[in-house]
Amino acid sequence: IIKELRIHANEEIAHAITLADQIDFLGGVPTIEVGEMKTSDDNIEMLKQDLEGEEDAIKRYKVRIEQAEELKEFALAQQLRNILAMEQEHAMDLYQALGK
């Protein structure tokens, strides 16, 4: 699972760069504000927290895709769909790691 989590981390960094580029292109200013970070010394609890984060991201990306389409920003919507697919893959990996 360590190898898979490293892959996830690198993909998350790529997502952040993609989104920052899009925000800049659309005239916004990307930020690096991060929400509350949960920690634990228990491996299972850490995986559960990671899964919760992925599930939250999946919900938020679905909303952002709808918003992008409403604004007729179809290229952005497609990029968000690509990121959403990766987030869903991350969630599946975590479900498997947790034996769900």
User: Domain containing 25 — which CATH number?
Assistant: 1.20.1260.10
Tokens at 73, concatenated: 């920003």
Rounded to the nearest 10 degrees, the angle between the axes of helix 2-25 and helix 74-97 is: 160
pTM of the model as a whole: 0.88
The rounded distance, in Å, linking the Cα atoms of 46 and 60 is 21
Dihedral-angle region of residue 65 (phi above 0 means left; psi in -120 to 50 means alpha; beta otherwise): alpha
Q: What is the tally of structural domains in the chain?
A: 1
- What is the domain range of residue 44? 2-97
Positive or negative: CA dihedral 72, 90, 41, 6: negative
What string of pLDDT tens digits covers the 100 residues of the chain? 889 899 999 999 999 999 999 999 999 999 888 778 888 899 999 999 999 999 999 999 999 999 999 999 999 999 999 999 999 999 999 999 999 8
Tokens at 16, concatenated: 């952040």
